[in-house]
Amino acid sequence: MGQSPFEQNPSDPPSRLQRSLGLGSAVVVGVSAMVGTGVFAVWQGALERSGRWLVAAVVLAAVVAALNATSTARLAARHPEAGGVYAYGRIYLGRPVGVVAGLVFIVGKTASASAAALTIGLYVWPQRTTQVALGAIVIALVMNIRGLVRSTRVAAVMVIFVGIALGAFVISSGLTLATRSVESSPSIPGAEPMGILAAAGLVFVAFAGYARITVLGEEVKNPRRTIPRAIAVSFAMVLFAYVLVAFVVLSADRAGVTIGPAALDDIARALAPSWVVTMVVVGSVLGAGAVLWSLIAGVGRTVFAMASRGDAPRFFAAAGRRSRIPIRAEVAAALATSVLVIAGGLTLALVVSAAMILTYYSIAHVSALRLAGEGGSASRAGRVAAVLGLVGCVGLVAGLLVWA
């Protein structure tokens, strides 16, 4: 007789939630959380701050994100439980630090979710951005309540289409740019060290989606093996796409294309056929929608984990009897996201998200240093990654604060 979907693999650590995600599903979760808001929303702000050093800013953001991934993967493999860095900080640095990590994550990811919703509004109907964003939040919440496995399959379709849309955008825009005479701007505002750091901080928001995998530690099969592999695969795929898009954005700016908040739409309308413009708009909806879905789930599960330990109201510690989904916590996450959409704009949401999430990862690196202190063959490499990652996070936050 087959195993019940609610039974656990004997080799898996104990879990209060259903372990339903394999490697493929976990990669989809990570990619869908990364390829979405960032690739469609960060370019105007990043370009203004870094100018001709945009690609360098993307690479710097990727390096910091990779260091963060190293520390979080090691921590998640050792402690595969819901809550991510909130749980790790609580274990290694004490309850107060863990609570701070959880609160920072909730604020940062809620800001990221509002940025995702606003991105959908900007690309679909700029004159009604807020209304469209609120509608997107409702849809994402309904998808979560219907069940994680079903929503993961939907996210897989979204990721595939977004990949095709980005490919069409890069190829068509790149070919058009190749036929033009493009001269480098003699003076581009923001092309100084702090500007590059600030731009990297904004772009970092786009890479931060792999944290979505770590907070699902209690829902991943064989987490000690699956989580590190899923983070590595999803990160490599997204890095490749972002570097290509960054080159196109920078080349388009040098060619005189006016780039606004909906950067890819502006570039596509100036350089690509109309069918590519349509694909970009649809891709932004699907990509940012997948991010919105994953972030509401991630924030909800962090609230669930905190409530389960008494660090948040116990009201949010309940999970559905059949679905085993923390519905109350996810509804609260959706409501908080809606408040930010109404109260702020895209730039504010991105800056708050970047600063909070970088602070969150700073706590992860300090926790990883404690983990490395426990010994083991990988301790030295883990310690180096944690130190470099901590320095990188602090540097990017400093850049954001200077430019803010």
3-state helix, strand, coil in the chain (%, to 5): 80, 0, 20
Cβ–Cβ < 8 Å for 129, 297: no
Query: What are the pLDDT digits (tens) for 101-122?
Result: 989 988 998 999 999 999 999 9
- The model carries a pTM of 0.82
Q: pLDDT tens digit string along 180-222?
A: 765 555 445 545 788 999 999 999 988 876 666 665 656 677 7
pLDDT on residue 4: 34
Integer CA distances (angstroms), 94 to 70, 98, 363, in order: 22, 6, 11
Please give the domain boundaries of the chain with CATH numbers for all domains.
23-178+194-403 (1.20.1740.10)
pLDDT of residue 26: 76
Query: Which residues are within 8 A (CB) of 364 and not within 5 positions of it... i.e. 6 or more apart?
Result: 68, 71, 72, 75, 85, 88, 89, 101, 389
Confidence of residue 378 (pLDDT cuts 50, 70, 90): low
Between 13-17, 198-202, 276-280, 396-400, the lowest mean confidence (pLDDT) is in 13-17
Average pLDDT of the residues in 176-182: 78
Which tens digit of pLDDT belongs to each residue from 313-361? 889 988 876 767 888 999 999 999 999 999 988 988 999 999 999 999 9
pLDDT of residue 92: 92
| Exposed e or buried b per residue across 38-77, where buried means at least 16 C-beta atoms within 10 angstroms of its C-beta | bbbbbbbbbbbbbbbbbeebbbbbbbbbbbbbbbbbbbbb
Report pLDDT for 82: 61
Tokens of 204: 């970092």
What's the pLDDT score for residue 188? Answer: 52
pLDDT (mean) for 297-303: 85
**If you average pLDDT over residues 4-9, what whole number do you get?**
38
Tens-digit pLDDT profile for residues 143-172 = 888 765 555 676 678 788 988 999 999 999
Other Cβ atoms closer than 10 A to 309 = 16
Of residues 121 and 373, more confidence is placed in 121
Cα–Cα–Cα angle for 84, 357, 354, rounded to 5 degrees: 155
pLDDT at residue 372 is higher than 70: yes
| 390 contacts 241 by C-beta, under 8 angstroms | no
Task: Calculate the average pLDDT of the chain.
Answer: 84
